[in-house]
Amino acid sequence: MSFVPTPAAETAALRRARPLRAAVARGGVALALVFLLAAHAVGSPRFGHAADPGYDWPQFDGNPQHSGDNTRETALTAGNVGGLALLRRVSLPSTEDGAPVYLSGVTTATGTQDLLFLTTGDGHILALDAHTLAPVWSHQYGPGACRINTGPAVCYTTSSPAVDPNRQYVYSYGLDGYVHKYAVGSGAEITGGGWPERATTNSLSGKCLNTRSAAA
């Protein structure tokens, strides 16, 4: 459903120039967002160019080609990338091993917000305010009785959500073996017309054998 000057340091800086970066504690449940605008004061209420109207990062690595190259970035350079600093930290219901996606200017019950969407290992999809990390909505299709290779380890997912090109819906894999479709602003699940869509017919271990971007 998928919808440079070349010195090594410059190339690395460009690849870091994404609307958001996430560092996930592998054994914990904390998501740390890194401040991208090294030339600005830490604590800025916005993510700079990433929050400009119409600027979105709708799936893993940004586009259907998964290039991971944010060509619109102008503030982050090889000269200031070393100044990146922690901006926010938030507790999550489970470890998030995929990549968040970003959608600007979303109409929600409390007004227009820029949102981050992320899928956690235990099958949650979360919508967070991109600037405060306050929760906006969430759903979960958890592992239930699913065990990896019928052993003791609980099934999990490392998938990332994906935003529809029409900006109205976000897709996320659940540990029930289906990809689910949600309204971006309210989190209402869309059913019917083929949704949710089965991603695996394996009733057990296949539910956790997901690609990095199962919904993209």
Distance from the first to the final alpha carbon of the chain = 5
Closest listed residue to residue 116, CA positions, set 32, 181, 25: 32
Task: Report the pLDDT value the prediction gives residue 76, as an integer from 0 to 100.
Answer: 83
Architecture, CATH, for domain 8-208: Beta Barrel (2.40)
The pLDDT score that the predictor gives to residue 100 is 93
For residues 181 and 169, the answer to whether their CB atoms sit within 8 Å is yes
Series of mean pLDDT values for 10-residue runs along the chain (216 residues) = 34 40 40 39 36 73 88 84 88 89 96 96 96 96 86 89 97 93 98 92 54 46
Integer CA distances (angstroms), 41 to 22, 29, 47, 84, in order: 19, 27, 11, 10
pLDDT digit string, tens, across residues 78-87: 899 899 888 8
**What's residue 38's pLDDT?**
29
Q: What is the pLDDT of residue 31?
A: 53
Q: What is the pLDDT of residue 5?
A: 31
pLDDT at 54: 55
Residue 58: closest CA among 162, 208, 152? 162
pTM score, whole prediction: 0.75
Per-residue pLDDT of 84-104, as tens digits, reads 888 888 899 998 888 999 999
